[in-house]
A and B are shown apart, each in its own frame.
Chain A
């Protein structure tokens, strides 16, 4: 991330990003609802070269029993990367990064799931990264949101996530692998969206170097990107559930 590195890595050429995108342009997002038979809700999502699959089980009896809360459901979120999802094989099982991502992602979903409707139960959200190309935590959250809707879990809103980055001094939306590796900063957001509007920030992390003004610019860009993803999440859900109505 030093200056020498930036000179070597030219990530923006003629005002365009290496993959041809504009600064505030998302990668292509594909979402499919209800792709797993056994899970109560599921979703397959692609975001550029990212491929992830989310499954929701529950509300079901929470185990172990001492974890149960008599007044509300407990939510578990497990972010996991497949060993083959990255260039260098990743050792299976949770590493420290996955534990942290799972924690902050769960905290975002706890804001929208109406836990008090499901006392003593557990709602499990499992997300597997099949192929990683930066922005996996955001893509997983977007998939998990759709899977929760597919499972029929009552929610006060939907969670939609996207990251911004700084590369070659420019703020860009939804960085891909090279921008993430050689960029100067990375800032993932997850927003709570209700009635088609962003209500609050549910997840926020950042590392790198950003000025106050760059953060403001990044947040504006992230909000715009999140609304685009939100529309795709909606479409994916409607695609699956509107068939009966049409007939």
Chain B
């Protein structure tokens, strides 16, 4: 109950600031928090990255192993994306099997990678009936808002530094995983007719009213997910696409440096 009152106060504060086009942490409405990306932090993984967006922290590890392709796509490799919202990351996360939020998180990240065709799955065939399976595992460490973008960034950063472990499985020499696009997702909070890019935990107190728009290098939209129960108008939707395309370029420049 105590938390409820606190969050009510927080919400009123966030909304009153927003009335003057200000945010509680002093950012502009379209300003992203500081992003830090560290790669290669887990040597046991084929690729890994720790991403910080403000205080939000996510670790993503990539593991690869040979396996059987799906019967309907015998000539393509496989990507499997999973997300764990472990209880250490937030007082509201509970142990147990993935709930709808972690499933949604994993599936939206997966769609960004898959639909941008960042990984050429046709190149992941080892032999007939044998392909590489890429496991992308997202581990949230600290949820201070916008786990979605932190996870997407973590996934592509980890893939960019992934070495295909061919020697370990006696299928030739190790080689870097070819990555041919850089999908970037931009999540915004839609509230009171305003768009807040990269919402923080405090800002989420005004409600789970999110939309994630992922784009590729050529400004194609590759994935959209409206998340939360709220009315989205057509005008706001178009505005969101434009903002997301602009912002994603800035972040893609960072990825280019990995």
A interface residues, Cβ below 8 angstroms from B? 1-2, 88, 96-97, 99-100, 102-104, 106-108, 110-111, 185, 187, 192, 199-212, 215-216, 219
- Among B86-94, B125-133, B165-173, B226-234, the one that faces the other chain is B226-234
Known interface pairs A204-B211, A210-B220, A219-B237. Does A102 touch B100 (Cβ–Cβ under 8 Å)? yes
A interface secondary structure, majority: mixed
The 4 closest A-B pairs by CB, nearest first: A200-B231, A206-B224, A204-B226, A110-B229
Known interface pairs A100-B107, A210-B221, A215-B221. Does A203 touch B100 (Cβ–Cβ under 8 Å)? no
Is the pair A207, B223 in contact by a Cβ cutoff of 8 Å?
Answer: yes
Is the pair A111, B237 in contact by a Cβ cutoff of 8 Å?
Answer: no
The answer to whether the Cβ of B122 comes within 8 Å of any Cβ in the partner chain is: yes
The answer to whether the Cβ of B225 comes within 8 Å of any Cβ in the partner chain is: yes
Q: What total of chain B residues lie within 8 Å of the partner, measured CB to CB? A: 36
Known interface pairs A102-B100, A192-B231. Does A203 touch B241 (Cβ–Cβ under 8 Å)? no
Known interface pairs A107-B228, A207-B111. Does A215 touch B216 (Cβ–Cβ under 8 Å)? no
Contacts of A108 in B (CB 8 A): 229
Residue pairs across A and B with Cβ atoms less than 8 A apart, 20 shown, are: A1-B115, A2-B117, A96-B98, A99-B100, A100-B100, A100-B107, A185-B115, A200-B231, A200-B232, A204-B211, A204-B225, A205-B225, A206-B225, A207-B115, A208-B115, A209-B221, A209-B222, A211-B219, A212-B219, A212-B245
Is the pair A96, B115 in contact by a Cβ cutoff of 8 Å?
Answer: no
The answer to whether the Cβ of B103 comes within 8 Å of any Cβ in the partner chain is: yes
Is the pair A202, B231 in contact by a Cβ cutoff of 8 Å?
Answer: yes
Q: Which residue of B lies closest to A110 (CB)?
A: B229
Minimum Cβ distance to chain A for residue B189 (Å):
15
